[in-house]
């Protein structure tokens, strides 16, 4: 945006300079033509009288003073300097006497004018410029070479210098004002775009956060139990398949523990489902503390939980021993007393202590068994523990 603004300002400035150069050149030509018409005879006399004279003689030519006197009668105030060149390109008259006898600093332009083919002009910034009254500093000088004719014959070149400084100062001042306006407008536009882009970024970020939260919520609803935040049956099935795949790669056994809380229904019936939910939440926390992070604890439904233990041992007997240790830890942890503090509306807080054991069924498996069979075998073992008196552990033993 800054580059665009800079280019626009520079284009405007160049356009204004070009346009005013044309206007200044035209004004110079009009002024020169007017003087040439008024002083036609005097100009011809100066050029004719200069034939064969050297520099010193040209500067002391008595016609110089006569021409200067006539020039003052018709001189315009904005003209800085006048020069007259003869056909050989020598200055035969200048309002600055020291220029007489010299030639032009622009020989190409002078040559074109001497041939009578075209009018030439130039504009330059001069640190120092000599005029009849002395030196001028830091000025823009506009010069114009105009072919001279007398009685239909080409006799030399008339050069006129005018001060273009006020015009260029106005252009530069106007350029600065326009620059401030353009840069100010672009700054405001940029600030507005930046503000709206920032707002859009924030809105998009908030939208992405909202979508992420919805995705997480949907994922949790799809794969986790809403009460205990444990994996549900769907995620359990996936973890069980992963454990079977790992068993196939390593040759190690896995174990599935199926358990049921023995004294859950009386608590629900006596104190309500709210207290029953507290028991399920505490039971889930205790179960998770008994296993490794690589193992899976899932709520199967109601007061039933499933634990999948992976990567035991390649030896079956050793794997049974390891699974027994974990199962016993689970049984003992779940058998510890539960203490709940409850408060019904309008009543004082009440502390409830509840004793709840579990019936635990365990099955050892590898990749050969199907998921359905593994769950079924563990369920059978769990019911065997329940029928044997509860608060017990039973391993599934396939019938011969």
Residue 359 and residue 242 share a domain = yes
Residue 221, phi-psi category: left (phi > 0), alpha (psi -120 to 50), beta (remainder): alpha
Establish if 378 belongs to a structural domain.
Answer: yes
Establish if 60 belongs to a structural domain.
Answer: yes
Residue 245 and residue 165 share a domain = no
DSSP 20-68: HHHHHHHHHHHHHHHHHHHTHHHHHHHHHHTTT--HHHHHT-HHHHHHH
Q: How far apart (Å, rounded) are the C-alpha atoms in residues 357 and 337?
A: 9
Residue 114 and residue 246 share a domain = no
Please list, residue by residue across 183-220, b when 16 or more beta carbons sit within 10 angstroms of its beta carbon and e when fewer do: beebeeeeeeeeeeeeeeeeeeeeeeeeeeeeeeeeee
Residue 152 and residue 6 share a domain = yes
By the 10 Å C-beta count (0-12 exposed, 13-18 middle, 19+ buried), 255 is classed as: buried
Last residue of a domain, one of 119, 145, 170: 170
Last residue of a domain, one of 155, 170, 185: 170
Establish if 92 belongs to a structural domain.
Answer: yes
Residue 162 and residue 67 share a domain = yes
Residue 391 and residue 317 share a domain = yes
Question: Looking at residue 12, what is its pLDDT?
Answer: 61
Q: How far apart (Å, rounded) are the C-alpha atoms in residues 85 and 243?
A: 109
Establish if 117 belongs to a structural domain.
Answer: yes
Residue 147 and residue 54 share a domain = yes
For residue 25, the domain's CATH number is 3.30.450.20
C-beta neighbour count of 313 within 10 angstroms:
16
Domain that holds residue 139: 2-170
Helix (H, G, I), strand (E, B) or coil at 206: helix
Residue 358 and residue 273 share a domain = yes
- pLDDT tens, per residue, the chain with 400 residues: 667 667 666 676 677 667 766 777 677 677 777 777 778 888 888 888 888 888 888 888 888 887 888 777 766 657 888 899 999 999 999 989 899 999 998 889 888 888 876 888 888 888 998 888 888 999 998 888 989 888 889 989 989 888 888 888 887 888 888 878 877 887 888 888 888 888 888 988 888 888 888 877 887 788 999 999 999 999 999 999 999 999 999 999 999 999 999 988 888 888 888 899 999 999 999 999 999 999 999 999 999 999 999 999 999 999 999 999 999 999 999 999 999 988 777 778 888 899 999 999 999 999 899 999 999 999 999 999 999 999 999 999 876 4
Establish if 375 belongs to a structural domain.
Answer: yes
Q: How far apart (Å, rounded) are the C-alpha atoms in residues 142 and 21?
A: 8
Q: What is the pLDDT of residues 122-164, one digit of tens each?
A: 888 889 988 888 889 999 988 889 898 888 899 899 898 888 8
The domain total for the chain is 2
Establish if 400 belongs to a structural domain.
Answer: no
Last residue of a domain, one of 119, 151, 170: 170
Question: Looking at residue 76, what is its pLDDT?
Answer: 60
Question: Looking at residue 131, what is its pLDDT?
Answer: 86
Residue 145 and residue 240 share a domain = no
Helix (H, G, I), strand (E, B) or coil at 135: strand
Establish if 217 belongs to a structural domain.
Answer: no
Residue 15 and residue 147 share a domain = yes
Q: What is the pLDDT of residues 251-295, one digit of tens each?
A: 999 999 999 999 888 888 888 888 999 999 999 999 999 999 999
Q: How far apart (Å, rounded) are the C-alpha atoms in residues 293 and 243?
A: 13
For residue 262, the domain's CATH number is 3.30.70.270
Residue 35 and residue 147 share a domain = yes
Establish if 65 belongs to a structural domain.
Answer: yes
Question: Looking at residue 400, what is its pLDDT?
Answer: 42
């Amino acid at each position: 945006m800054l580059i665009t603004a800079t280019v626009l300002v520079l284009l405007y400035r160049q356009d204004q300079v070009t346009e005013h150069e044309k206007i200044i050149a035209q004004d110079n030509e009009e002024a020169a033509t007017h003087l040439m018409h008024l002083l036609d005879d005097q100009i011809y006399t100066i050029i004719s009288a200069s034939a064969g004279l050297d520099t010193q003689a040209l500067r002391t030519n008595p016609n110089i003073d006569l021409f200067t006197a006539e020039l003052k009668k018709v001189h315009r105030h904005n003209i800085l300097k006048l020069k007259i060149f003869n056909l050989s390109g020598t200055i035969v008259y200048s309002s600055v006497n020291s220029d007489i006898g010299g030639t032009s600093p622009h020989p190409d332009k002078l040559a074109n004018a001497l041939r009578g083919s075209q009018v030439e002009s130039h504009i330059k910034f001069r640190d120092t410029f000599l005029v009849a009254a002395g030196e001028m500093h830091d000025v823009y000088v506009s010069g114009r070479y105009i072919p001279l004719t007398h009685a239909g014959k080409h006799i030399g070149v008339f050069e006129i210098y005018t001060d273009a400084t006020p015009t260029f100062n106005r252009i530069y001042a106007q350029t600065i004002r326009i620059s401030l306006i353009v840069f100010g407008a672009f700054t405001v536009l940029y600030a507005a775009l930046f503000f709206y882009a920032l707002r859009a970024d924030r809105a998009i970020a908030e939208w992405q956060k909202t979508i992420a939260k919805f995705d997480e919520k949907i994922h949790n609803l799809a794969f986790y139990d809403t009460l205990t935040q444990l994996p549900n049956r769907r995620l359990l099935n996936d973890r069980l398949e992963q454990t079977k795949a790992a068993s196939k790669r390593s040759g190690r056994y896995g174990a599935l523990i199926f358990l049921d809380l023995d004294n859950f229904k009386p608590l629900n019936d006596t104190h309500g489902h709210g207290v029953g939910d507290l028991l399920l939440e505490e039971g889930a926390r205790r179960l998770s503390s008994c296993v490794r992070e690589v193992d899976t604890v899932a709520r199967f439904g109601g007061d039933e939980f499933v634990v999948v233990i992976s990567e035991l041992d390649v030896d079956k007997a050793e794997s049974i021993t390891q699974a027994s240790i974990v199962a016993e830890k689970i049984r003992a942890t779940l058998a510890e007393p539960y203490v709940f503090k409850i408060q019904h509306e309008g009543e004082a807080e009440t502390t409830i202590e509840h004793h709840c054991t579990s019936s635990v069924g365990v099955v050892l498996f590898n990749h050969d068994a199907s998921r359905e069979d593994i769950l079924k075998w563990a369920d059978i073992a769990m019911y065997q523990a329940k029928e044997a008196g509860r608060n017990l552990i039973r391993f599934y033993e396939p019938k011969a």
